[in-house]
Amino acid sequence: PIPVILDCDPGHDDVFAIWLAAGNPALDLKAITTVSGNGYLEHTTHNARVACTVAGITGVPIAAGAAEPLERKLTPGTWIHGENALGGPELPEVTVPLDERSAIELIADTVRASAEKITLIPTGPLTNIAHFVRTYPELLERIERIVWMGGSTGRGNCGAAYAEFNAWADPEAVDVVLKSGIDFTMVGLNITHQALITQDVRSRIRNLGNETGVFGAELLEFFCNSYNDVEGMPDGPLHDPVAVALVIDAAVATTVHTRVDVELVGTETAGATCVDLHDMLKREKNAHVAIDLDVDRFWNLVTDAVAGLK
């Protein structure tokens, strides 16, 4: 299996990313690290432990990372995810421990201990990954690649017309990671909006009948209601697991090799990812950008993973 670390800010869709990464046999989930984003760090960290508790995922270390973006102030994504970043179901007492190390120490230790290069899958703001890049330059060659849910080839989703939430929350971190030289794949809104949580998907997950499926269905209900209220979309998009799915199975999406830069100074556009799909700038290509999703293949991966958990 492919050794991966999931860096996340749970968040409804991040919970499904954890379940997919832990529940699919093609991946070896070595660690989970948390960052502020959808909620304050105490919430996202707690929610990662909730995700593992519900699904019976044990033995995967969980460590907390950055409480604030590199240079900006955090605006937690509570308008979609609720005050505790995981609105909807009643949350159980957590039974999985929190690692004493910081997120970047856990990433560094995991990378050093692994015979194979590690794939990083961030599904939140890139703050932790940027700290890792700056703190451990000697370990970067031990990273196989980064597959990030964030950015967009088109428009945004967080009250800013052009910026996607994870990029908008910490644009400077995106810039650090893009310049790190690590092989980088962007799984943006343009593709995650193809992963729509239809009524059929919700029933399929609820009808799995296991605890994880029932809890998951409650999460999806809340999440879709939020999307309906905020964006007028009754079937919300399950963003984060798309990045995990692409690591499991490259056939889940098409990608193009192109140039991505992030807007750091725009008065209206800070956090926008400028994806040069038509090579207007003639700059060196620095990213693979996911374009078309095989929707059925994606949902089969998600439901199979959830079915195999507690």
Instruction: Indicate which residues carry an active-site annotation.
Output: 239
Interface contacts to ligand BDR, rule CB under 6 A: 11, 13-14, 38, 77, 80, 123-124, 149, 157, 164-166, 239-240
Instruction: Give the shortest CB-170-to-Ca ion separation in angstroms.
Output: 12
- Could you tell me which residues come within 8 angstroms of residue 91 by beta carbon, excluding any fewer than 6 positions away? 46, 47, 50, 84
Is the separation of the CB atoms in 262 and 273 below 8 Å? yes
Q: Tell me if 76 contacts Ca ion by CB under 5 A.
A: no
Binder of Ca ion out of 7, 14, 172, 261 (CB under 5 A): 14
Per CB under 5 A, does 124 bind Ca ion?
A: yes
Of the pair 240, 276, the CB lying nearest ligand BDR is at 240
- Provide, rounded to whole angstroms, the least separation between the CB of residue 247 and Ca ion: 16
Sign, Cα dihedral of 32, 36, 38, 43: positive
Out of 53, 123, 127, 303, the only residue in the binding site for Ca ion (CB under 5 A) is 123
Residue 290's SS3 state is strand
CB of residue 293 vs ligand BDR: minimum separation in angstroms? 15
125 binds, among ligand BDR, Ca ion, none (CB under 5 to 8 A by kind): none
CB of 95 to Ca ion, least distance (A): 23
CA distances from 103 to 35, 41, 134, 197 (A): 8, 12, 14, 31
Which of 33, 123 has the CB closer to ligand BDR?
A: 123
Residue 216 binding partner per list Ca ion, ligand BDR, none, with a CB distance cut-off of 5 to 8 Å that depends on partner kind: none
Rg over CA atoms, the chain = 18
Cβ closest to Ca ion, residue 170 vs residue 240:
240
| Token output for 35 | 């960052």
Quick one: which of 53, 70, 259, 19 has its CA closest to 151? 259
Does residue 126 contact residue 176 with C-beta atoms inside 8 Å?
yes
Measured from the CB atom, the residue of 111 and 119 that comes closer to ligand BDR is 119
- 28 and 4 in contact (C-beta within 8 Å)? yes
Q: Name the residue nearer to ligand BDR (CB basis): 111 or 247.
A: 247
Compute the least distance from the CB of residue 44 to Ca ion, in Å.
9
Two structure tokens written together for 103: 């997120």
Would you state the torsion angle of the CA atoms of residues 25, 8, 272, 175, taken in this order, to the nearest 10 degrees?
A: -90
Residue ranges that bind Ca ion, judged by CB under 5 A: 9, 11, 14, 123-124, 240
